[in-house]
Structure 1
Amino acid sequence: MGDSVVMVSLYPEFPQSVMSSVASCGEFVFLMDRSGSMSNTRIRSAKDTLLLLLKSLPMGCYFNIYGFGSRYEHIFPKSVEYTQQTMEEALKSVEQIQANLGGTAILEPLKHIYSQPCIPSQPRQLFVFTDGEVGNTKEVIDLVKKNSDSHRCFSFGIGEGASSALINGMAKEGGGHAQFITGTDRMQAKVMQSLRFALQPTVVDFSVTWDLPKEVSVTVLSPPITALFQGQRSLIYAQLTGQSSEAAEGCVTVKYSLAGHPSENQLHFSLRPAEDTGLTVHRLGARTLIRSLELEERESRGQQDGEVKKKLVRLSVQSGVSSSFTAFIAVNKDNSRVIQGPLVRRNIPTPMTQRFGSVLLGHPRMIGSPMEMCSIPDTYGKKEGNLRCGGYAKKAHGGQRLFYRTRCRQEEQTAAADHLNARIALLKQPPRDPFMHLVSLQKASGSWLLDPDLATALGKTSEQVEKIKPRTANSEVWATILALVWLHAFKVDAKDEWEFLAMKAASWIHAQNAPCVSECVESGNVLLGCGIKKEDLGL
C-alpha cells in the first residue's frame, strides 16, 4: 500500500467505416434458462427480450433459440437464415415458452451448440440467460474457453441468485460481456447493449506495454483483457515499485487489431502525482486482484497448500477490502477493542397474505389452509376410498358432515390448484404495453404494415390514420414513418431498446426511394401531436 498504483481507463472509439462493414452478419444463438425459478415476471420479461432481439437482428444473419433446464429444447435443429418466415416461426414458439424445464443444467446444451459447425463468414455470438448457479461452474467455463476461438459469449445473470462466478467467467473466457439484471433493472435495455457489442468486430492481438525508468518496476494487478468494445470502458490496474526522480515520466502503450486494421495508443503520465490522492485507487486495484485470487482459489479447490488463501487474506487485511475469507468487525472507538458478546436475534413480522378459498372461485371444496372447515355432502363421508381425508368429523344439519380437513385426495387438490392458478394468471395479466405491441408488428425487413393493429398501438383509429395519409404516399412507407415518429416522440427514454429497430426501418425507407418522405413526417407529427424532424429519424 506504500507503492504507487495507476489506473488506466480504456474507452475506445472505432472507425465508422469498420463498424458499418460487418454489422449485417453473424450467427446469433440465444440460450434461455427455463428452470422453475424463472416463472412469472422473469419468464415474461425473457419473452419480451427475445421479441426485441428477433426484431433487431440484421437481415442476412442466422439465428436459433434454445431453452434449458434439466433438459434442453431448440426451435430449429440448426441455425437458420433470418427471414420474415423464420422470424414468425420463432416468435410463435417464443410465445409458448414457459418456465417448465426443471433444474439448471447448462453444460449439455452448450456441448450441443458447440458441436454444430460454424457458418462461413457468420461469426457466432452466444447469448446465455440464467437466474441460478450450477454445480459444475468450472467445467462450464472451461468448455466456453475451449471454444473461444469460434465464438463470443455474452452472459446475463437474472436476479440476486445468479452466480457471478458463472456469469463473469463465461463472458471473460468467451471474449464477450457480462450483465447482471437485478431489482427494477429492465432486461431489454441491457441485452440490447450487448447486442450492440456483438455486432462490433472482434478486437484481436491486444497488448499493453509499459515504458518506465529502469529503477521502477511494474506489476499488473488486473486479469488480461479478453475483449474490447466501443462505448464500453475497460480498466487496468498496475502497481509501480521503486523510487524515481521528481520529473520522471512513464508511458503506457495499448495495441490491438480491428478488422485487419492495427491501432496503437500511447499515454504519458507523471510518476509523481501532483497531490496526495489517498488510497482509493490502491483499494480498487486490491479489489481487482482479490477477485482474481478468489477465482484462482475456487478453481484449485484448495489444492495449492493454502498459499493462494494466505496471500488473499494478507492482501485483504492490508488493503481493508473484504474478501470471501475475511469480514469487517465492530470496534469500540473509545478503547479500540473489538466488541464482544453473542449475536442478538431479532424477529421481524411478515405481512399476512389473504388466503384464497371458496369465496374467490365459488368452489365448495377448495382448501385454503392446512386446517380449513368446509361443508361437503354426506356421501363423501361414507365412501372412504373416494375422499381419503382425515380429521375430526361431526354430524351436521341437512345430512352433511363438517370436516376439519388436514389433507385431500391428490387429484382433487391438483385440479383445484391448476384452476386457481389459471384464474389468477388471467386476472393478473397486464394490458399489452403499446411499445411492445408496436415492436411485435414490425416485419423482419424493418417495415410496418398499415392495418388496424398499428393504429391501436399508436392510440388512434384506422380512420384517423388513413384520413391524414398523404395521397401519393405508399401505405407501407407511411406506416413505417408513423411508427418511427411515435418511437422518437414517446419512447425516447427507451431508445437503447429500439435503436436497432429504427435503424432497420430507416434503411428500408431509404431503399424504397419514396418521393414524399417529408410530407409523411409532417402528417405524422400532426396525427400524433408532436414535432419530430425528418433528420431525427435518420431520413
Structure 2
Amino acid sequence: MMVNCCGLLNTNNEPVPLKSIEVELEVRDHVATVVSTLNYENKEDKPLEAVFVFPLPGDAAVCHFSAQIGQTQIVAEVKEKQKAREEYDDALSSGQQAFLLEESEQSPDIFTLSVGSLPPGESASIRLEYVIELAVQADDGLRFCLPAVLNPRYEPQGSEGAGVQVTSVPASLVPYSLSFSVRVSSPRPISKVESSCSLEPLQYVNTEQTQATVKLAAGHKFDTDVELLIYYRDAHKPTAVVEAGQESAKPGSLMGDPVLMLSLYPEFPQSVMSSLASRGEFVLLLDRSGSMGCPTSNGKQQETRIASARDTLLLLLKSLPMGCYFNIYSFGSSFEHIFPKSVEYSEKNLEEALKKVESMQANLGGTKILKPLTHILSQTCISNQPRQVFVFTDGEVSNTKEVINLVKKNSGSHRCFSFGIGEGASSALINGLAKEGGGHAQFITGADRMQPKVMQSLRFALQPAVVDISVTWDLPTGVSVTVLSPPITALFQGQRSLIYAQLTGQSSEAAEGCVMVKYSLAGHLSQNQLHFSLKPPEDNGLTVHRLGARTLIRSLETEEKEHRGQQDGGVKEKVVQLSVQSGVSSSSTAFIAVNKGNGEPITGPLVRRPVPTPALMQRQGSNFREITLSIQDHSKQPPRDPLLQLVSLQKASGCWLLDPALAAAVGKTNEEVENTKPSAVNQEVWATILALIWLHGFQMDAKPEWELLAMKAVSWLRAQNVPSEGMEAGNTLLGCHVQKDAMGL
C-alpha cells in the first residue's frame, strides 16, 4: 500500500512538517493570480535534504517559484531549457546547490524544486505563484478551488480497504493553519462570494461594488478543499478589462504594453434554444486502438478507457431526440461502421446499435483516423438534419494537419465535437478538430468522468449554431492592436470565451478605445459594443498579461508541433523569448534555481529526486485528491453502476416498461412495484414516473449525465396525460419527496 505525498519531502519521501500556509487570491473579472506561501520547520535533530512537490490545476501557468531557507533565498528563473540544464550542471560541478524545475512531458501540472539542506530547528518558506482562468459553473458563478493536498493525508485506523480514498481528515489532526484572503475586481458589480468553508463578511472597497475583499474565517483547519464561488451582477454582459504594462519592460513588448481581456459569456433567448433541439444526424467515431484498453487512471482501477467510452455511448444514444438520425463508426488501423449509412432513431435501430457497442473492444491496432473521417464527411447530407460528428480518441496521429484540414474543408456541412481521453491525447488534434469544425473540445484526464463532459457537448450539439462571429476594433490614431488568442469559431450557451489583445502605441488626445463583437443566431443578429480606457491604473498586477502570454505560447507550441521537421526554428525562439520575458513556463523553457549560499561549497552528495508519477494522483476536475492504491482482484467484473442500469432500460421514445429489471433498478421487488401502482395509471406511465422520481431523488449529483434523457421522458409523459396520484404513490414507494414541477411536469 502506498500513499503519494505532496509538499516538502525529505530524501526518504517523508513529509517535513508544515507550520502554516498563506494564500492570496487576486481575481480580475474571469481570471486570477494565486500566491501561496508555505512555511515549514525541521523538527528533527539532523539536517534535512528536501524536495518540494506541488500539483497544479492542469491549465494553470506557473510564474514564480522561490524558497527562503534560513537566511538563504533561492529564486527560480525562467531560461531556455538547454541553457538551464547546462547552468544546473555547472552549479553542481562547482559545489553549489541547484535544482531544475521543468514541465514534465507527461504532465505539465506537477512541479518539483529542491530546497536545500535544512539544519535542525531551521525554517523554510516556499512561495509559488500561478495564474489561471476561473471556470464558469452552470449557475453563472466562477469557481476557484484550493486543494488540500499540501500535507499527506492521515490514514485513519482500519482504512486499508480496497482502493480506499481518504478525502478529508479530522480537523484535530491538521497540524498547520491556513490564512486565505481574496481581492476581487471586475467592470461589473460583485453580487456575492460563497464558499464551502466559513468566510468573513464580504467587504466592498468602492461604492460601485466592483471591488471587494473577503477572508476565510479565523481558525480554519485545512482538512478539506477550499472551494470559492464568485458571482457578478449581469453575468452575461460582455466585459473588457485593460491592464497596464510592466514599468520595467520596454514599450512595444508584450509585457511593456497594456493588455486587454475581453470576456464573452452570451445568454441566448430560451425560445431559440428550445425550438431546434429535435433534429440532427449524429455520427459517433470511437477510437478502438490498443491503448484504449488502458485504465482511465481514476479510483476504479479496473475501468478501462474503452469501458468508460461504452458507458458514455449508452448515455449519449439514450439521450438523442426522436426524429434524428445516427450512426457509429469505430477505428484503429482499419475502420468499421454499425450501419452502411446513418439511420433514423427508432427502438429497433437503437437496440441493434447498443448490442454492437456492448461488444466493442480495444482491438483494432493503431490510430488511423483520416480514412473513417473522410468516409463520414463524403456521405450525402440528410436535408434538415445538420450533421454533428463526435470524435473520441486517446492518441496522437502522425498526420494531424491533414486531418484538421479535412474537417476545415467540410466545415460548412458539419460540426465536430472532440474528446481527448487520458494524458497522451494530442491537444493539437483535439483542439484543431473542434476549432475548424465549429464545435467544442473536451479533455478527460485523471479522475474526470467522461459522461458529464460528453453530455455537455451533446447539449451544445443540440443548440443552433452561432455563425458569422466577428470582433472589430476602433482605436485612435497611433494605437494598434495585436490579438493574442486564436479566433473564435463557435459560441455556445453556458460557455465562456476569453480574448486577449496587446495594445501598442500612444494616442495624444483620445484615452478610449472600442471593440465590437457581432454574431448571428437563428437569423437574429447580435452586437455588443464595449468601450475601454487606454490609460489603465498602474497598480493592478500582471494576471491578464501572463494569461495573454500563456495563450500565445500555447498557440505557438501547437504551430511548432505542426511544423516539426520543417526546420522552423523561429517559432521555438518566439516561445522561449515570450516565456522568459513573461516569466510563464512553457515546454521549451525551465525554471533554474541556484543556491549560491554564502560562497561555501555544499558538501556531501546532492540527490535529485524523481517527480512522483501523476498516475498515482487522482484528479477531480481541477482539484487533486491523493489516492491510496492497493492490489485489487481483477477477475471480478465490477457491478454495473445503478444509474447506467436504469438508463439501459429506457426506450428510444423516452419511456420505461414495467418489469422486474426496472423494479430492481429502483431498488424494489417486482411485487412492491406492481402492488403499489394506482389503478388509474397505466404500466408504462407508472414505470416512467418511478424512474424519474428515482433519478431526482437519488442521482442529483449525476444530473448533467441524465438530464437530457429525463427531458425526453417528461415529453413522453406530457403526451400521456398523467393523473396526479401517480406522483404521490411513486414518492411513497421510493421514500422521496419529488415535486411535479421539479421534474418539469
TM-score (norm 1): 0.81
Alignment size in residue pairs: 462
Residue 80 of structure 1: how far off its partner (Å): 0.4
| Structure 1 match to 2:658 | 450
**Helix, strand or coil at the partner of 1:488:** helix
CA distance, structure 1, for counterparts of residue 475 and residue 292 of structure 2: 52
The one of 429, 435, 440 aligned to 1:172: 435
CA distance, structure 1, for counterparts of residue 309 and residue 350 of structure 2: 17
Gaps of 5+ in 2: 1-254, 294-302, 614-631
Task: Deviation per CA, 1:139-174: give whole Å up to 9, x if none.
Answer: 111111111111111111111111111111111111
Distance 1:333 1:530, change over 3 A: farther
- Does residue 1:60 correspond to 2:323, yes or no? yes
CA distance, structure 2, for counterparts of residue 250 and residue 348 of structure 1: 47
Identical columns (%): 79
Counterpart residue type for residue 33 of structure 1: D
What is the correspondence of 1:108-187 to structure 2 with a 5 Å cutoff? 108-187=371-450
The one of 290, 293, 301 aligned to 1:36: 290
**Helix, strand or coil at the partner of 2:431:** helix
Greater mean deviation of Cα atoms: 34-43 or 124-133:
34-43
The one of 483, 491, 498 aligned to 1:235: 498
- Does residue 1:210 correspond to 2:469, yes or no? no
| Structure 2 match to 1:279 | 542
Distance 1:231 1:335, change over 3 A: farther
Counterpart residue type for residue 230 of structure 1: Q
Residue 332 of structure 1: how far off its partner (Å): 2.8
| Structure 2 match to 1:476 | 684
Gaps of 5+ in 1: 351-423
Task: Deviation per CA, 1:153-210: give whole Å up to 9, x if none.
Answer: 1111111111111111111111111111111111011000000111111111110112
- Asked whether the equivalents of residues 246 and 272 of structure 1 are also in contact (C-alpha less than 8 Å), the reply is no
- Asked whether the equivalents of residues 221 and 239 of structure 1 are also in contact (C-alpha less than 8 Å), the reply is yes
CA distance, structure 1, for counterparts of residue 374 and residue 501 of structure 2: 37
Residue 131 of structure 1: how far off its partner (Å): 1.0
CA distance, structure 1, for counterparts of residue 389 and residue 288 of structure 2: 17
| Structure 2 match to 1:503 | 711
- Asked whether the equivalents of residues 289 and 362 of structure 2 are also in contact (C-alpha less than 8 Å), the reply is yes
Distance 1:134 1:534, change over 3 A: same
CA distance, structure 1, for counterparts of residue 605 and residue 557 of structure 2: 30
| Structure 1 match to 2:742 | 536
- Asked whether the equivalents of residues 247 and 272 of structure 1 are also in contact (C-alpha less than 8 Å), the reply is no
CA distance, structure 1, for counterparts of residue 562 and residue 727 of structure 2: 58
| Structure 2 match to 1:367 | none
CA distance, structure 2, for counterparts of residue 238 and residue 426 of structure 1: 52
What is the correspondence of 1:111-510 to structure 2 with a 5 Å cutoff? 111-244=374-507, 248-274=511-537, 276-301=539-564, 303=566, 306-332=569-595, 344=607, 427-510=635-718
Counterpart residue type for residue 7 of structure 1: M
- Asked whether the equivalents of residues 477 and 507 of structure 2 are also in contact (C-alpha less than 8 Å), the reply is no
Distance 1:136 1:342, change over 3 A: farther
Counterpart residue type for residue 680 of structure 2: T
CA distance, structure 1, for counterparts of residue 406 and residue 322 of structure 2: 30
CA distance, structure 1, for counterparts of residue 705 and residue 611 of structure 2: 40
CA distance, structure 1, for counterparts of residue 611 and residue 520 of structure 2: 57
CA distance, structure 1, for counterparts of residue 572 and residue 605 of structure 2: 28
Residue 247 of structure 1: how far off its partner (Å): 8.4
CA distance, structure 2, for counterparts of residue 244 and residue 334 of structure 1: 48
Residue 115 of structure 1: how far off its partner (Å): 1.5
CA distance, structure 2, for counterparts of residue 91 and residue 7 of structure 1: 46
Give the alignment's Cα RMSD to 1 decimal.
2.4
| Structure 2 match to 1:9 | 263
Residue 52 of structure 1: how far off its partner (Å): 0.3
Counterpart residue type for residue 163 of structure 1: S
CA distance, structure 1, for counterparts of residue 491 and residue 665 of structure 2: 39
| Structure 1 match to 2:280 | 26
Residue 310 of structure 1: how far off its partner (Å): 2.4
Greater mean deviation of Cα atoms: 213-222 or 8-17:
213-222
Greater RCO (CA < 8 Å, at least 6 residues apart): 2
| Structure 2 match to 1:518 | 724
CA distance, structure 2, for counterparts of residue 509 and residue 434 of structure 1: 23
Residue 344 of structure 1: how far off its partner (Å): 4.6
Residue 486 of structure 1: how far off its partner (Å): 0.5
| Structure 2 match to 1:378 | none
Residue 475 of structure 1: how far off its partner (Å): 1.3
CA distance, structure 2, for counterparts of residue 239 and residue 144 of structure 1: 30
CA distance, structure 2, for counterparts of residue 207 and residue 432 of structure 1: 47
**Helix, strand or coil at the partner of 1:513:** coil
Residue 46 of structure 1: how far off its partner (Å): 0.8
- Asked whether the equivalents of residues 250 and 271 of structure 1 are also in contact (C-alpha less than 8 Å), the reply is yes
Distance 1:478 1:309, change over 3 A: same
- Asked whether the equivalents of residues 283 and 387 of structure 2 are also in contact (C-alpha less than 8 Å), the reply is yes
- Asked whether the equivalents of residues 400 and 562 of structure 2 are also in contact (C-alpha less than 8 Å), the reply is no
- Asked whether the equivalents of residues 22 and 200 of structure 1 are also in contact (C-alpha less than 8 Å), the reply is yes
CA distance, structure 2, for counterparts of residue 8 and residue 503 of structure 1: 35
Residue 270 of structure 1: how far off its partner (Å): 2.6
Greater mean deviation of Cα atoms: 319-328 or 154-163:
319-328
Counterpart residue type for residue 242 of structure 1: G
CA distance, structure 2, for counterparts of residue 84 and residue 245 of structure 1: 70
CA distance, structure 2, for counterparts of residue 296 and residue 31 of structure 1: 26
Task: Deviation per CA, 1:426-476: give whole Å up to 9, x if none.
Answer: 832011221111000101010111111100000001111122211111111
| Structure 1 match to 2:183 | none
CA distance, structure 2, for counterparts of residue 462 and residue 347 of structure 1: 57
Residue 105 of structure 1: how far off its partner (Å): 1.1
CA distance, structure 2, for counterparts of residue 444 and residue 198 of structure 1: 19
| Structure 2 match to 1:76 | 339
**Helix, strand or coil at the partner of 1:328:** strand
CA distance, structure 1, for counterparts of residue 337 and residue 675 of structure 2: 45
Counterpart residue type for residue 502 of structure 1: A
CA distance, structure 1, for counterparts of residue 612 and residue 695 of structure 2: 45
- Asked whether the equivalents of residues 253 and 265 of structure 1 are also in contact (C-alpha less than 8 Å), the reply is yes
Residue 31 of structure 1: how far off its partner (Å): 0.5
Residue 349 of structure 1: how far off its partner (Å): 12
- Does residue 1:527 correspond to 2:733, yes or no? yes
**Helix, strand or coil at the partner of 2:651:** coil
Counterpart residue type for residue 519 of structure 1: E
Residue 536 of structure 1: how far off its partner (Å): 0.3
Distance 1:536 1:295, change over 3 A: same
Higher strand share: 2
**Helix, strand or coil at the partner of 2:286:** strand
CA distance, structure 1, for counterparts of residue 378 and residue 633 of structure 2: 39
| Structure 2 match to 1:370 | none
Distance 1:534 1:310, change over 3 A: same
Counterpart residue type for residue 279 of structure 2: C
